Amino acid sequence: MFLFGGLRKEFYEKNGRISMKLSVVIVARNEEKNIARCIESVLKHTAVVGPVEVLLADSASTDRTVEIASIYPINIISLKPEWPLSPSAGRFSGVNNVSGEYVLIIDGDMELLGGWVEEAISFMRINQKAAAVVGRHYDIYYLENGSLSEPCVSRSSAGKNSIRKEPYIFASSIFRRDYLQEVGNFHPFLRAEEEAEISCRLIQKGYDLYFLPYDSIRHYTIPRRSFQETIRRSRRNLWSGMGDMLSWCLRRGYYKILWQRFKVFFSFIFLMLSAICGLTLFVFFGNLGGLIVMFLPGWFWLLMVVKKRSFVDGSLSFINFAVISWSLFLSLFRRVPPIDTYPRDVISVKKM
């Protein structure tokens, strides 16, 4: 806290009160139970930075998301239902329809925390090579009994307690809009991993990404280690989206980011292919060594159960590994369209 107060004081002494155009892009699809909380937190905690432009980029919601959002003094655009829809498409369309020097991107199931925006922008004004900054995120889980869990530090923020450069940013971050546009904006055809991909392009241009140890976001979601979350991610094609990322990055030569993000899954794919080879050797040639190799996935499952100290959690981890790895394998035969082919004629629902 003292560190950031010092940064903000230094900026104020040089530049006076923060006064620049900030845009907030709220990305949502069917978030009627969360959207009011998100919008209210944004309006409350961005007022300090001066003029603020808030835009909801709605991905063709079929519930009351847009109806609820229309009550508030914000702009609203809607993507068309026949378009390829994804969180990344919402980011792409949102960035194309705002004008701020800085862009805060937040999902509709998130809540902005006080103090983060002014601290982040102060840091970026001092560090001109900073293309994006991300703060500490907290997860709040919807429990089976209808209550909410206590906030817990998200996995992406765990163990980070100082300013540090990052190889990629995640979830809700603040971007310099000019830098985003310079590298081509988010990739709207990626159904997942869009933050890692845009991070790769920003770093290749010579820009920096930072984690700032300051509370920024609360994320209201389903418990990560649950079959419900696995089903949700499958229905929203988030697992398949990881395959999109692999396909796109292989063709672009983004090998470093691929290894950073997927090395564990590459190892799992190798394990499964080895098991298939082992089965072939045993069935057709009677090779006992092949029998041992054939059961490697079983040993991996047992390792997961022991590591998680739970039969259910270990089995769930194994299922997730298998589904993601299969999606990555299939992506070798899939081609992701280029960014500039995504439609731009969004529907303007409300304009302030």
pLDDT of residue 11: 41
- Stretch among 31-40, 50-59, 119-128, 332-341 having the lowest mean pLDDT: 332-341
Task: Please say if the pLDDT value at position 111 is more than 90.
Answer: yes
pLDDT tens for 133-178 read 999 999 999 887 888 999 999 988 888 889 999 998 988 999 999 9
- The more confidently predicted of residues 297 and 291 is 297
Token digits of residue 255 = 């090998």
The CA distance from 218 to 211, in Å, is 16
Contact 113, 216 (CB under 8 A): yes
Residue 315 — very low, low, confident or very high, per pLDDT cuts 50/70/90?
confident
pLDDT, tens only, 83-92 = 999 999 999 9
Most confident stretch, 43-52, 57-66, 216-225, 284-293: 57-66
Give exposure, 267-277, as e/b (b: 16+ Cβ within 10 Å): ebbebbeebee
Per residue in 249-266, pLDDT tens?
A: 888 888 888 888 888 888
The DSSP-derived string for 276-318 is: HHHHHHHHHH--HHHHHHHTHHHHHHHHHHHHHT-HHHHHHHH
pTM of the model: 0.85
φ/ψ of 23, rounded to 5, equals -110, 140
CA–CA separation, 130 vs 244, rounded Å? Answer: 27
Q: What is the pLDDT of residue 216?
A: 96
pLDDT exceeds cutoff 90 at 310: no
The string of pLDDT tens digits covering residues 318-350 is 888 888 888 888 877 788 999 999 999 999 999
